[in-house]
Amino acid sequence: MITFIRRGLLGLALAAAPVASAQEALPLSEGWRFVKRDVAGAERPGFDDAGWSRVAVPHTYNAEDSGIGGAKARGEPEGVYYRGPAWYRLKIDHKPRAATRYLLHFGGATLTADVWLNGEKVGSHEGGYAAFRFDVTGKLKAGENLLAVRVDNAKNPQISPLNGDFNIFGGLYREVKLIATPELHFDRLDHAGPGIKVRTEALGKGSATVGLTAAVVNDRAAPATFQIVTRIADAQGKVVATQRSPLTLAPGARGTADQRFTLRSPKLWEGRKSPYLYRVTSEVVAGGKAIDSQTAPLGIRTVAVKPDGTFLLNGKRYPLYGVNLQMPTRYGRGPIVTQAEIDEDLQIFDEMGVTGIRLAHMQHPQRVYDRADELGILLLTEVPLIDDHDQSDAFRTNLVQQMRELIAQTYNNPSVALWGIGNEIRVSDAASNRILADLNTTAKTLDPLRPTTYAHCCLDDNDPIALHSDTVSYNRYFGWYWTKSEDIGPWADELHAKMPTRPIGVSEYGAGASILHQEDPVVTRPESNGYWHPEQYQTDFHIKHWLEMKKRPFLWSTFIWLGIDFPSFKRNEGDRPAINDKGLVTEDRQTKKDAYYWYQANWAEKPMLHITSRRDTDKRTSQVKVMAFSNLPSIELRLNGGAWKTVPVEDRMAKWTIELTKGENRVEARARTPEGTLLTDHVTWRYATRP
């Protein structure tokens, strides 16, 4: 066993113990020194950083920039926030042990990171959203070590994204840790993946075929003969299958073992209905002892999309609908979020009833994928190719690297259903088409079992840009940026008629809304980049869109833009600058807008009841229309303690016209579930003939 001892602000110590086992890791979180500028010589151990700030990692140097925004559409400069280099330094106290390898792990650094240990450069990484690792075994010394990292979030023509409606938060914004492994070990340096890849290869009648590939590296000075022993355990921990594969590796060699399992009467991972998870454990066994191990979730499931647009989970039609989520952030902290806060975000939309989430527009924290596995929410996850591209081979090569990292690090998550190769490329030229072709080929080569997709916009619907991936979805904002909401249906019909064997979906649709802006009823469509974004317009937009889309089963997926309001330096609209307010939930997660409950009424299994326009408290006229959302067949309404009136629910809506009295009015709703539970809701509205 390798143990780790924390030594105050010096970082860590690694203490020897009798037996080496699986990897051990210690977070390198406390004791960092930081400065937000470029500094010559800061990589040197003897450099004086006494005047730098003390910070804990994860850390971003753009936390205070979230409220800066401006809109070019009104002739304003876009919000300006710091995009440039910064330095981090940490002292590490190390006790080396024999026959042990040491890896530095970075969960994410935006956008480039250069890493030195004791003044010697150990590596660089380009790309802001994937984990990366460096082997520092020969560079760590006994006693004090100095780790220095230069991070730079400046725009770089060779690194995607080059554009995007979101902030690029610079820093070591995910975990940093030191990993210790034995010399004979699973390959954790292959794009920072776990060294094992597990998959459902086929479902039969009463059986499932599961495949696993394990990659092992022999860093010993002598040849190694050993076994890869893999066990599959059910949710209760009972081992249901075991495989052993002998392997011999020369010094410095890397080898792989492929294993196959047949599970009888398996429990399937069935999305929301039953997200059953097995656990896979693979061990390197040498001399009768397990010296290294890795684990992975196993959800026994298959995914596919038919040419007619039918999405299949385990060979059965499974409607795929949900929201887009930007990378998890919190105001004033940016991407520095806890696992509990990530869980909070996913729980909100689990309760809404989503079957899927599109993770825009980059690789998200690992906890997002793991929690989606547990909840049964399918994910579309994509590389950050957004809007613009560079013509260079270096740019394309970097994107392929980011795709390799995304797949290596999330391959084992059964929630991952499709790989996204890009979003809204605005120019269809040779370079952009080659980029998409290479990304699609990379994804299909590394993972032929999952479909690929692309989010298309701003060029012809059947432009070659939209034809590289297995499926295509469209970012369409009828009724917000153009025409009217109902046009989503005829557009989809026309496109499907034009491409009847091409799976098409809707990757983005949405409208802005501020809970501070109330207008019931809405008279005209608000300006998308204006300062008035009434909540009721968003509600009407989504009612009309869903009523159209649910009638068109050839749409293989539909994803709302967006789940939660998030910061964007490009915006100054709605009730404040620097916010994209198309979310169904406010940025602070405290308020679910009315449109959220519209989808909950349509998608959730749990009975619900919600009266809309509760924030429109002062009514202009005495005669108003009450609208409530519910997934029950009827509800009861009453005004000011009067008689209850039964109102039928049609298309998940109950409507009732009432006459308000002067002063405060209390509108109540109730409904009883089939199990006998009474649901209630109420709002208070005021009516006055004079202010």
Catalytic residue, from 405, 424, 535, 573: name it.
424
- Distance in angstroms (rounded) separating the CA atoms of residues 557 and 121: 46
Fill in the amino acid letter for 9: L
DSSP 385-432: -BS---SSHHHHHHHHHHHHHHHHHHTT-TTEEEEEEEE-----SHHH
**Which residue in the block uniquely carries the two structure tokens 């003939």?**
689
DSSP annotation of 10: G
The angle formed by the CA atoms of residues 501, 388 and 329, to the nearest 5 degrees, is: 95
Rounded Cα distance between 55 and 178, Å, is 18
How far is the C-alpha of 301 from the C-alpha of 312, rounded, in Å? Answer: 10
- The torsion angles phi and psi of 643, rounded to 5 degrees, stand at -70, 145
First-to-last C-alpha distance (Å) of the chain: 74
Per the CB < 8 A criterion, the answer to whether 266 and 274 are in contact is no
Pairing label, strands 356-359, 378-382: parallel
DSSP state of 213: E
Q: For residue 270, indicate whether it is catalytic.
A: no
Q: Are 528 and 514 in contact (CB under 8 A)?
A: no
Give yes or no for a contact between 34 and 53, defined as CB atoms under 8 angstroms apart: yes
Q: How far apart are CA 367 and CA 97, in angstroms?
A: 32
Q: Which one-letter amino acid corresponds to residue 134?
A: F
SS3 (DSSP) at 547: helix
Q: Which residues are catalytic?
A: 424
